Amino acid sequence: MEVIFASQYQHYPLFRESDSICNEPDEAPRDLKYAKFRERWECISKDSSEMLFDELSPRLVLSGHTHHGCHVQHNISEGRTVHEYTVPSFSWRNKRNPTFLMATLSPNNYAIYKCHMPSEYTVMAMYFMSFVFLMLWLLNRKFRSQGLLYIKVSKHLD
């Protein structure tokens, strides 16, 4: 029987006490990082998590819901480890540094890439600078067409 790479995708993260074990650039802020999760509310219950491990035997779990990034290694029986990546919110409304994951999955392996969005301030500054340059370019064209920046010479030099 051929072993197939099993990955699990779900909205709620698997059971964990809190985000205190998370050490990612997009992790929860300090005041939220150590707040205890409520089972069946902010994460799946411990019993349900164990049942999912037993029934599905995933090698990779991708989850969300917490609005903050996290990478957790769940130690399961027989020394087996399952990696869980919690995908953060992809909105500046919920997170100052939104990120998204890109994954490459194969039957035997996987690779996870975390991609960071520019900060909202950077995007707004780029919009503002683009607007200023556009206005300067339009004013330059208008003044050139009216002959204010140069005088057109109609003589031909031989």
**Residue-level pLDDT at 95:** 81
Residues 4-59 have pLDDT tens digits of 667 888 999 999 989 899 888 888 888 888 989 888 888 899 999 999 988 888 98
| Residue 126 clears pLDDT 90, i.e. is over it | yes
> Cα–chain-centroid distance for residue 77?
31
pTM of the model: 0.74
Residues 85-97 have pLDDT tens digits of 998 888 888 888 8
What one-letter code names the amino acid at 97?
N
DSSP string, the chain: ------EEE-SSPPP-S-STT---TTPPPHHHHTSPPPBTTTB--HHHHHHHHHHH--SEEEE-SSSS-EEEEEE-GGG-EEEEEEPPP--TTT-SS-EEEEEEE-SS-EEEEEEEPPPHHHHHHHHHHHHHHHHHHHHHHHHHHTTSS-----PPP-
Q: Are 59 and 8 contacting, i.e. CB atoms less than 8 angstroms apart? A: no
Mean pLDDT of 81-85: 92
Mean pLDDT of 106-129: 91
Distance CA 8, CA 144 (A): 62
Q: In the structure, what pLDDT confidence band is assigned to residue 158 with cuts at 50, 70 and 90?
A: low
